[in-house]
Structure 1
């Protein structure tokens, strides 16, 4: 049975997972690495489960360890919140906020959002990493991960920051040369650029009279970054499926044209995802509130930055 005297070990386990390192957790706690390893081993024995898989180069959190970590992280966050209130420092956001986001969204919007947030909190430091592939929050040690699209069910907690939709577009020059598709089925005779991190059948999906409609497409240009696909479309390489936030300014300027409007699926969301169901650290709560207000009613056409 877990007692009060075991709480420091639970907190230490949370720091090991968050930092992905016994050594880093030991330095932070001011104790020897061997002491950290011993206390985690004792905690595993007490709980009767393996929390971490250790190797010479890295640690990996087990499925049971992830569930325990979520509770331990909540415990640590609650302690931090209590210290904040007791010390009279409520609202004083400090420490390091670790954020992960898709490359293009980070470049076009999130960097400016974070810059404004930092200006309000001099005691805070932000570490932003960018990755278009889905990352593991726990393994990556992230406080917040920005995700775009429909979220799968998970133990993570998502806060919606903004809405957007996927659109199909191409350059006027391409459409003059190849014609404009009037139905999804017309795409069979077009060059359809492909985002290599998803299946074509999922990328080129539409709404038909009988429900979802996946259109077989072809195309000779494949990339794993949305900005690259946008630039290829601007150069006349073909049709492309992208979030509106990536092409709104180009559409408004006449550099790209939307096609097949009304045939796509419902709107997609832009979410800030955390592991905290309750008692999120002050830095996380502050950013979630700031970002939700920042993107409320956001106009992608006038505020989108070209990169």
Structure 2
């Protein structure tokens, strides 16, 4: 009976990840250990839970029926552990975080040591990725998201505003001129961030009117650090969040223009799977990083 209970999280991981290899990665086990636990569980229950081929697995009818109960058992158990941790008031355990590359490098990684020094019983596993990935599929406790959030079952807590500006280097503007209105952008080399969630168009607001422009240029990339670098080198112009370019704006290495045209307002959020009891390790991380970022207005936008 004890073996059956201990195999339930393994069974649920295989169901959610779709194969033994990914389940083993999530659980920190070997593939053979996962396969053995499932086989023992099937033997003890006297039913086959998965149909296996060399390339795939699929739940049997018995497995489908059992999976609902098993998932509920894991959820309830995790909520119980989280509730006990909250009562103890000691954040501990592995905290898996998924966050965008450049923002994390600039504004989260510098504070990791301070956080871990404050909470020595917490271990952080940080995945930096500009693509929006599933927190549930990846087994993440918390994610950092920038911009408009998709409708989902995730809980979102706003950390701070995300202001953007249209900018270029002085050398580029001296050579090609400074655009004064959105239509002028058609004559300029506009650098494009390929993972921009708002789509291919750039949107501007003025006098209660929305103006859209589809930027054209010779460089498209999926990384903001690369855009920042080519901007500084005078390749073209781009919409950039100030959390990346604030220092370059202060040093005049980059210059804003068309400031009378407002850009869409965005925010930076911490998101996490909906739970009745938020794990203490997640709660203290969100509070910590929110405080560091500026509680509503990013510290990088501070004029001082």
**TM band (smaller chain):** 0.7 to 0.9
Q: Secondary structure at the match of 1:96?
A: strand
Alignment of 1:93-112 (within 5 A): 93-112=91-110
Equivalent of residue 247 in structure 2, options 230, 246, 249: 249
Change in Cα spacing, 1:193 to 1:266, as seen in structure 2 (3 Å) is closer
| Count of residue pairs the alignment pairs up | 287
What is the CA deviation profile of residues 199-248 of structure 1, one whole-angstrom value per residue up to 9, with x for unaligned ones? Answer: 89545222256743321321111211001101101111010111111001
Q: Does 1:300 align with 2:297?
A: no
Change in Cα spacing, 1:119 to 1:265, as seen in structure 2 (3 Å) is same
Change in Cα spacing, 1:283 to 1:141, as seen in structure 2 (3 Å) is same
Q: 2:62 maps to which residue?
A: none
Deviation at 1:97, TM superposition (A): 0.8
What is the CA deviation profile of residues 95-136 of structure 1, one whole-angstrom value per residue up to 9, with x for unaligned ones? Answer: 111111111011101112322211111111111111111112
The runs of 5 or more residues in structure 1 that have no matched partner are 1-5
Deviation at 1:267, TM superposition (A): 1.8
Alignment of 1:50-89 (within 5 A): 74-84=75-85
Q: 1:284 maps to which residue?
A: 282
The runs of 5 or more residues in structure 2 that have no matched partner are 60-65
Partner Cα distance (2:200, 2:42) in 1:
43
Deviation at 1:265, TM superposition (A): 3.4
Q: Does 1:137 align with 2:135?
A: yes
Partner Cα distance (1:283, 1:206) in 2:
40
Give the RMSD, CA atoms, in angstroms.
4.0
Q: Does 1:21 align with 2:19?
A: no
Conserved? CA contact 1:97–1:125, under 8 Å: yes
TM-score, normalised relative to structure 1: 0.77
Change in Cα spacing, 1:58 to 1:122, as seen in structure 2 (3 Å) is farther
Further displaced range: 7-16 or 221-230? 7-16
Alignment of 1:1-307 (within 5 A): 11=9, 13=11, 17=16, 20-22=22-24, 25=27, 33-36=35-38, 74-84=75-85, 90-198=88-196, 202-207=200-205, 211-295=209-293, 296=295, 297-301=297-301
Change in Cα spacing, 1:8 to 1:246, as seen in structure 2 (3 Å) is same
Q: 1:3 maps to which residue?
A: none
Partner Cα distance (1:286, 1:251) in 2:
33
Conserved? CA contact 2:246–2:300, under 8 Å: yes
TM-score, normalised relative to structure 2: 0.78
